[in-house]
């Protein structure tokens, strides 16, 4: 069951609460559980069945498919994973059964001109490891299923006979932890589809950096190491990457895995990604006195030294992307300077009247030009605060790495 209903109250309460929502109809898409998943052990953290939301394509897009990984952080220890299993991040039992499709997922041709009539699928996230784990933890009272890799495979096998197996065009996308998942499943996705299909991948806010925090500690690296070990991820990372690094778990970071991906790829990211700013560059463990609190909530409140630190983060991201920028003929980029995290799922940032732009091009236009080979698209914004199109974005609240 798919519903079109006026949902003005759902409009951007967490992104731009001062804005008045447009009175457009929002698309609600029903959840589909994967009944055959239990046989292969492809279960959410709490043992519930995995799920997705599918809205059928039509017209010229009836044989085209867009798959979107849901995001939502990670859990890297038993305590956080047990807690996660009691929420929508670890169990389909706690998820909304109807999901809003907007931005890149909307069926509105005006708001999503290139993908509106495709088959569009949102893969629900309930494993806590970007759909990459394959392990089980059991004690006397509880079992945790770290089965993200199996969930990915189960959903794909459920969709193949529904038309995905005959796709003419396909795009694998994702936001945040879901954006990270696209790096790890891009080439595998292409292998499932016909050899003559046009298959490409898009990561939105998934280019998480292996970056030292402001106290010069490798907070994110240690987090990833514990995540990889707990959830049995290493066996599912790119083998060419893991063979090339002394610490194979580093291949969980996109900057190390990217050069081994052969499928055409587009990277959408803010150079001042708010999640990374709050949790990788300035985690609470590195700012116990709260000297960065005002800066985190409002870039205009940052001191000159803090701005310099943020500019250094931007340069490190661009440095990590430089090999891709120079060598990938089929790759695309849109690296803007908004304080944002995830920009493809909301109409207001995807293709709205005042969406972020680089060289007067919206994110939707850049991705469409790249996917359909209308134009070469490797756009890098000037440094903050030069971009006047970022006015509709504000920083997210500080959180934890497993939020």
Q: Please give the pLDDT value at position 393.
A: 65
Q: What is the pLDDT of residues 290-320, one digit of tens each?
A: 999 999 999 999 999 999 999 999 999 999 9
Q: Give the percent of the chain with pLDDT over 90.
A: 87
Contacts by 366-370, CB closer than 8 A, 24 or more apart: 366/332, 366/334, 367/104, 367/114, 367/202, 367/266, 367/268, 367/332, 367/334, 368/113, 368/114, 368/115, 370/200, 370/266, 370/332
Within a domain: 395: no
Residue 20 has what pLDDT? 36
Q: Which two tokens stand for residue 155?
A: 């959903």
Confidence of residue 191 (pLDDT cuts 50, 70, 90): very high
215 included as an active-site residue: no
Residue 172, domain extent: 2-7+25-390
Annotated catalytic residue, options 53, 55, 278, 341: 341
Domain count, the chain: 1
User: Which of helix, strand or coil describes residue 93?
Assistant: helix
Q: Mapping DSSP to helix (H, G, I), strand (E, B) and coil, where does residue 303 land? A: coil
Task: Determine whether 112 is exposed, middle or buried from the number of CB atoms within 10 Å of its CB (0-12, 13-18, 19+).
Answer: buried
Q: Which of 204, 273, 287, 381 is labelled catalytic?
A: 273
Q: In the predicted model, what is the mean pLDDT of residues 252-259?
A: 97
- Judge whether 153 lies within some domain: yes
- For the record, the structure tokens of 270 come out as 């803010």
To the nearest whole number, what is the mean pLDDT of the chain? 92
Q: Is the pLDDT score of 150 beyond 90?
A: yes
In the prediction, which pLDDT does 376 show?
A: 85
Whether the model pTM is above 0.95: no
Distances (CA, A) of 354 to 23, 234, 247, 307, 399: 16, 42, 44, 25, 28
Of 169, 194, 201, nearest to 331 (Cα)? Answer: 201
Mean pLDDT of 347-359: 93
337 occurs within a structural domain: yes
Catalytic residue among 80, 130, 173, 176: 176
In a domain, 396, yes or no: no
Q: What is the pLDDT of residue 52?
A: 98
Instruction: Report the pLDDT value the prediction gives residue 396, as an integer from 0 to 100.
Output: 55
Q: Is 176 a catalytic residue?
A: yes
Distances (CA, A) of 158 to 32, 78, 178: 10, 30, 19
Which secondary structure element, helix H or strand E, spans residue 32, and what is its range? Answer: strand 25-33
3-state class of 161 per DSSP?
helix
Could you give the 3-state DSSP secondary structure of residue 328? coil
Please indicate, yes or no, if residue 260 is contained in any of the structural domains.
yes
DSSP characters over 365-403: HHHHHHHTTSS--EEEPPPTT--GGGTT--PPPP--TT-
pLDDT band at 395 (very low <50, low <70, confident <90, very high): low
Does 348 score more than 50 pLDDT?
yes
The residue with tokens 């394959």 is 134
Q: Is the pLDDT of residue 126 over 90?
A: yes
Q: How many Cβ atoms are within 10 Å of 382's Cβ, its own excluded? A: 11
Length of the chain: 403
The CATH number of the domain holding residue 356 is 3.40.50
To which residue do tokens 């997210």 refer?
396
Question: Is 80 exceeded by the pLDDT of residue 158?
Answer: yes
| Crossing angle for the helix pair 148-159 and 177-192, to the nearest 10 degrees | 50
Instruction: Give the dihedral of Cα atoms 57, 58, 60, 65; nearest 10 deg.
Output: 10
Per-residue pLDDT, averaged over 371-394, amounts to 89
Distance between CA 368 and CA 109 in Å, rounded? 13
- Is residue 199 in some structural domain? yes
pLDDT tens digits for range 3-51 = 443 333 334 433 443 333 443 578 999 999 999 999 999 999 999 999 9
Does 397 map to a domain? Answer: no
Neighbours of 17 (CB within 10 A): 9
Q: What is the pLDDT of residue 271?
A: 97
Q: CA of 121: how far to CAs of 55, 57, 124, in Å? A: 6, 10, 9
Could you read off the pLDDT of 160-190 as tens digits, one per residue? Answer: 999 999 999 999 999 999 999 999 999 999 9
**Dihedral of alpha carbons 279, 394, 130, 78, sign:** positive
Q: How confident is the model at residue 147 (pLDDT cuts 50, 70, 90)?
A: very high
Classify residue 48: in a domain, yes or no.
Answer: yes
Nearest to 395 by CA among 252, 253, 282: 282
Handedness of CA 42, 43, 44, 45 (dihedral sign): negative
* pLDDT band at 394; cut points 50, 70, 90: low
pLDDT band, very low/low/confident/very high, at 402 (cuts 50, 70, 90) = low
Burial tier of 335 (Cβ tally within 10 Å: 0-12, 13-18, 19+): buried
């Amino acid at each position: 069951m798919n519903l079109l209903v006026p949902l003005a109250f759902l409009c951007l309460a967490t992104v731009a609460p001062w804005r008045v929502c447009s009175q457009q109809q929002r698309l609600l898409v029903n959840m589909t559980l994967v009944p055959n998943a239990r046989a292969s052990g492809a279960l959410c953290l709490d043992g519930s069945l995995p799920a997705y939301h599918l809205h059928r394509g039509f017209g010229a897009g009836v044989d085209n498919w867009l798959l979107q990984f849901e995001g939502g952080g990670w859990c890297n220890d038993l305590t956080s994973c047990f807690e996660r299993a009691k929420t929508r991040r670890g169990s389909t039992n706690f998820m909304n059964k109807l999901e809003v499709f907007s931005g890149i997922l909307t069926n509105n041709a005006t708001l999503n001109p290139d993908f509106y009539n495709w088959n569009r699928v949102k893969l629900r996230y309930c494993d806590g490891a970007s759909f990459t784990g394959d392990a089980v933890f059991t004690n006397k009272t509880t079992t945790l299923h770290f089965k993200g890799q199996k969930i990915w495979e189960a959903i794909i096998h459920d969709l193949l006979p529904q038309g995905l197996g005959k796709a003419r065009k396909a795009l694998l996308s994702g936001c945040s932890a879901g954006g990270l998942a696209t790096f790890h499943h891009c080439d595998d996705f292409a292998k499932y589809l016909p050899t003559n299909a046009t298959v490409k991948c898009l990561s939105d806010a998934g280019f998480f950096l292996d970056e030292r925090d402001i106290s010069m500690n490798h907070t994110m690296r240690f987090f990833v190491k514990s995540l990889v070990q707990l959830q049995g991820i290493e066996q599912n990372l790119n083998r060419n990457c893991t063979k090339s690094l002394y610490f194979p778990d580093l291949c969980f970071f996109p900057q190390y895995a990217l050069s081994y991906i052969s499928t055409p790829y587009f990277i959408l990211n803010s150079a001042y990604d708010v999640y990374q700013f709050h949790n990788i560059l300035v985690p609470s463990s590195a700012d116990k006195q709260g000297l960065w609190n005002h800066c985190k909530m409002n870039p205009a409140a940052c001191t000159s030294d803090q701005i310099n630190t943020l500019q250094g983060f931007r340069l490190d991201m661009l440095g990590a992307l430089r090999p891709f920028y120079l060598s990938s003929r089929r790759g695309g980029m849109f690296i803007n300077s908004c304080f944002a995290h995830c920009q493809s799922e909301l109409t207001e940032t995807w293709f709205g009247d005042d969406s972020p732009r680089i060289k007067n091009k919206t994110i939707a236009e850049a991705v469409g030009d790249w996917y359909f080979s209308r134009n070469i698209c490797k756009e890098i914004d000037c440094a903050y605060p030069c971009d006047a199109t970022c006015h509709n974005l504000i920083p997210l609240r500080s959180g934890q790495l497993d939020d």
